[in-house]
Amino acid sequence: MWVEAVLFDLFDTLVLLESDEVFYSPCLRRLHGFLAREGINVPFEDYRRVYFEVRDRIYAETEKNLEEPHFNVRVSQTLQQFGYDFDVSNPFVTGATMAFANELMHYVHLDVDTVDVLRKLRGRYRLGLVSNFAIPECAWKLLDKFGLKGFFDVVLVSGEINKRKPSPEIFERALNALGVDTSRAVFVGDTIGLDVKGAKNVGISPILIERRPIERIMDVKPDEVIRSLRELLVVLEEC
Ligand SMILES: [Mg+2]
């Protein structure tokens, strides 16, 4: 296969995010602390309970329609449950989102191989990033923090375009921006349901980076499985 473009997922592919159980509570506490300082008076446990109800309802919808409402939507909807009628662009809402995001950044680490591998691929392939994330501003900050921005010819974050993997649109949009046909692209990601399935559906060759034991029942199979980003260099040589 003649490869012209290599697309990457972000979380748990190029950067590693600690588990939900580790980061979620401190991030929500930061968000809540921001609101409290602004005079929004809701006990943390109440806020937390309603936040998860709202979030889970949004998740159930996005699983069906493959849209990605910005994180501001869940903050706004949660506040509405407590009688605060702030829309998604209200500074209390956007400030609370950024408080969550700034805390989250402490739980994200650069994979040891990322920079070296991207450096080796840069110039030989068109490179792209396609990430499912409801806080696109935070994705950009992370790329900045880790010095990754300059490697990519295209960056698409679901919260920016209201489409998430595995929707065909987000993959096709990335390749259209690169001017590369799907049959000349590979996608590297860590999830079967989002990355492998989504890429394969549009004719992109999926490469799974195995960050955890592979789900035994796979309705779609990756074309290759790698255990580190470094192995990607070998796989691409053999294409
Ligand atoms: Mg991922």
| CA of 39 relative to ligand 1 center, distance in Å | 36
pLDDT along the chain (239 residues), means of 10: 96 96 96 97 96 98 97 98 97 98 98 98 97 98 98 98 97 97 97 96 97 75 96 94
User: Which pTM was predicted?
Assistant: 0.95
d(CA 85, CA 79): 7
Helices 71-81, 44-65: crossing angle, 10 deg rounding: 130
Q: How is residue 228 written in tokens?
A: 């580190």
Query: Which of 188, 159, 157 has the alpha carbon at shortest distance from 173?
Result: 157
d(CA 15, CA 22) in angstroms, rounded, equals 16
* Euclidean distance between CA atoms 191 and 73, whole angstroms: 25
Tell the residue number behind the tokens 């009688």, with chain if given. 83
CA dihedral (71, 37, 18, 152) positive or negative: positive
Quick one: pLDDT at residue 213? 78
Distance in Å, CA 135 to ligand 1 centroid:
15
pLDDT of residue 217: 63
CATH superfamily of 5-16+109-238: HAD superfamily/HAD-like (3.40.50.1000)
How many CB atoms are closer than 10 A to CB 219? 9
**What residues flank ion ligand 1 with Cβ within 5 A?**
9, 11-12, 190
Three-state DSSP at 100 gives helix
Cis peptide bond upstream of 168, omega within 30: no
pLDDT digits (tens, 9 = 90+) for 86-134: 999 999 999 999 999 999 999 999 999 999 999 999 999 999 999 999 9
186 in Cβ contact with 205 (< 8 Å): yes
Ligand 1 centre distance from Cα of residue 9 (Å):
6
Tokens found for residue 206 = 């999926």
pLDDT of the residue at 212: 83
